[in-house]
Amino acid sequence: MTASAESVSRETPVVLRGTPVVPGVAAGPALPVRSEISPEAISRFGDGGFADAQAAMSAYDDAVAAVADSFARKADRATGPAAQVLRASAGLARDKGLRSAVATNVDAGQGLVAAVRAAVEQFVTIFTNMGGLMAERATDLQDIEHRVVAHLVGEPEPGVPTPAEPSVLIAADLAPSDTAGLDPELITALVTERGGATSHTAIIARQLGIPCVVGAAGITAVAAGTFLLVDGEAGEVELGAQPARAQQRVVASRAAYEALAGWSGPGATSDGVPVKLLVNVADGTSAVQAAGEPVQGVGLFRTELCFLDVADEPSVEAQAEVYAAVLGAFGEGRPVVVRTLDAGSDKPVAFATLPNEENPALGVRGLRLSFGNPGLMDRQLDAIELAGRRTGTETWVMAPMVATVAEAADFAEKVRARGLKPGVMVEIPSAALLAHRMLEVVDFLSIGTNDLTQYVMAADRMATDLAHLTDPWQPAVLQLVAITAEAGRQAGKPVGVCGEAAADPLLACALVGMGVTSLSMAARAVRAVGAQLARVSSADCVAAAEAALGAGDPLAGRAAVRALLH
Ligand code: PEP
Ligand code: MG
């Protein structure tokens, strides 16, 4: 490229913008995910020419076995949530209900491909109507359908092709089975057109540490092989970037990442204002792993995640054992905040969740389940008390989905009666607006920005089309965080953030500037947040808070805070 041509392309890069999910800069040719099976192959296959329905179902069983085995092989190579997602997909492919719906369609005279498609559509409608996490399973089912049909018609399974060189994966949305099997050596970054900060893509990208931007409108129109420069902190994707310049940015980003890895805590700003950095955990295994990180305790133990596949309520003794596995991993000056069951909505727990709610996100979830079933809460608190006594770990307990001061007072009384420290989550706007009165009855508040954002913006946190609204940088969300933090400052009581917002290094600084005293996040995010905080003063954090609160929208807020802190 000549100097003048290069300067023109520098002046006029085409940049797509989306929601940044995993920071880091990466580059490579665009690699589109294959979602289509060639229509010619399907029409060649026709009705399959099977002798009878039994022969057709036997071909179905072979295709399902091949798909399930390939999920299982990928699961063996993966760990953590990625492995769980793949095993769940293998189970879903073998689902007996799905098989019997296919058999019914075949018996009714449909060709096998049409029978599979109609059966999947039937289940997708049911799952979608159930909403929340079940709706997410619809994407898994459609992915399974594409793979089974590909096997039937003799095409390669759709999904992530194996690239010849490290590439940037682009897609409308990614099925969990696509993201879960990714090799970070070959896939340098992920960019999707749909999806939000809490989508499957985001969760797995965070686990793998692959730079990721979701909700990038226009990415699916980009031609395969176009050289892309992805900035997972700014949420920008530059098309046709000049490779040498892109490489410089990638190298600089890697150096910055390696510097982060050396951060060893404890959390504080450059002028020495302490900020407690804590971890979010799901069970004993994740707690043991997280305990090795430079953190001062657990800010959120999501107890409901221990019981997602349990049919009956475990006894107090059995629950105590589960909780003690987490409490026992910490202690010695590192307290654990246990959250009581946040069952319902996107986290169905068989023994707690009410069936068939019209609108479960606004229904009987979290603390509300104890209104009709007080024993459920009492037994869980008894078990937490027991686990606390057995391990000797300082135990704080908080309730999710608290809407009124009376609910907070009632909960606090039960927790104090067991010698534990009570707090409540601020996830509903009413709790933020009355934070000062909440703090008259509890000892601490923890802001759940994931749900607070969903309820302030009236946008389902799982809705991939609403990612621009379900963004914790929304100034209206931050206003409520600021009100809550200010209430904590006046009461002299701790106010933390335990939603995904705490894991965003730039937003973390703004939250501290608002007066938040602790940040709780996935273990993998801790060092990046700690290192960022150590680079800025408390005055910088206050300036970042003002910039984020005063911004017109999330994009402007991010840009303003980046400009201030970099
Ligand atoms: C939140 O809502 O921010 C939160 C931490 O709770 P969960 O993500 O488990 O709903
Ligand atoms: Mg929540």
Q: At residue 309, does pLDDT exceed 80? A: no
Report the nearest atom of ligand 1 relative to the CA of 501: 3
SS3 state at 519: strand
Rounded to two decimals, what is the model's pTM? 0.74
177 closest CA partner among 97, 315, 71 = 71
Starting at the edge strand found earlier in the chain, the sheet holding 14-17 runs: 14-17, 236-239, 227-231, 25-32, 167-171, 187-192, 212-214, 19-22
Q: Once rounded to an integer, what is the mean pLDDT over residues 311-324?
A: 96
pLDDT in the model for residue 132 = 58
- Per-residue confidence at 23, pLDDT binned at 50, 70, 90? confident
Question: Which of the residue ranges 78-87, 201-210, 296-305 has the most confident prediction, judged by mean pLDDT?
Answer: 296-305
d(CA 374, CA 171): 46
451 CB within 6 A, ligand 1: yes
pLDDT in the model for residue 3 = 36
428 CB within 6 A, ligand 1: no
Going 384 to 380 to 409 to 299, the CA torsion angle's sign is: positive
Contacts with 379 (C-beta within 8 Å, 6 or more apart), sequence order: 313, 316, 319
- Per-residue confidence at 240, pLDDT binned at 50, 70, 90? very high
Q: Once rounded to an integer, what is the mean pLDDT over residues 185-209?
A: 79
Report the nearest atom of ligand 1 relative to the CA of 427: 2
d(CA 498, CA 566): 25
370 CB within 6 A, ligand 1: no
pLDDT in the model for residue 533 = 96
What's the whole-number average pLDDT of the chain?
Answer: 90
DSSP 558: H
d(CA 480, CA 514): 10
215 CB within 6 A, ligand 1: no
Please write the tens of the pLDDT for every residue from 320-372: 999 999 999 999 999 999 999 999 887 778 899 888 888 889 999 999 999 99
Nearest CA to ligand 1 atom 1: 448
pLDDT in the model for residue 11 = 53
Please write the tens of the pLDDT for every residue from 537-552: 999 999 999 999 999 9
Rg of the chain (C-alpha set) = 25
pLDDT in the model for residue 215 = 87
443 CB within 6 A, ligand 1: no
Q: Is the separation of the CB atoms in 231 and 256 below 8 Å?
A: no
The DSSP bridge partners found for residue 145 are: none
Q: Once rounded to an integer, what is the mean pLDDT over residues 474-489?
A: 98
- Crossing angle for the helix pair 554-565 and 538-550, nearest 10 degrees? 160
pLDDT in the model for residue 200 = 63
CA of 18 to the centre of ligand 2 (A): 24
427 CB within 6 A, ligand 1: yes
Least confident of 24-28, 54-58, 94-98, 181-185: 181-185
Please write the tens of the pLDDT for every residue from 140-193: 888 899 999 999 998 877 878 778 899 999 998 877 667 766 788 899 999 998
Q: Is the separation of the CB atoms in 303 and 546 below 8 Å?
A: no
pLDDT in the model for residue 164 = 83
Nearest CA to ligand 1 atom 6: 448
Active site residue 306: no
pLDDT in the model for residue 127 = 77
CA of 89 to the centre of ligand 1 (A): 24
Q: Once rounded to an integer, what is the mean pLDDT over residues 7-15?
A: 61
Residue scoring higher pLDDT (200 or 520): 520
Token code pair at residue 259: 């510097």
Token code pair at residue 507: 């937003």
Active site residue 566: no
Q: Is the separation of the CB atoms in 29 and 249 below 8 Å?
A: no
CA of 176 to the centre of ligand 2 (A): 22
- In the chain, the percentage of residues whose pLDDT exceeds 90 is 67
Please write the tens of the pLDDT for every residue from 435-446: 999 999 999 999
SS3 state at 497: strand
Q: At residue 130, does pLDDT exceed 90? A: no
Contacts with 515 (C-beta within 8 Å, 6 or more apart), sequence order: 482, 485, 486, 488, 489, 495
Burial of 331 (C-beta count, 10 Å sphere; 0-12/13-18/19+): middle
CA of 374 to the centre of ligand 2 (A): 21
Please write the tens of the pLDDT for every residue from 445-467: 999 999 999 999 999 887 777 88
d(CA 6, CA 388): 64
Catalytic residue among 200, 212, 306, 509: 200
d(CA 269, CA 281): 25
Q: Once rounded to an integer, what is the mean pLDDT over residues 267-275?
A: 97
d(CA 498, CA 344): 19
pLDDT in the model for residue 124 = 87
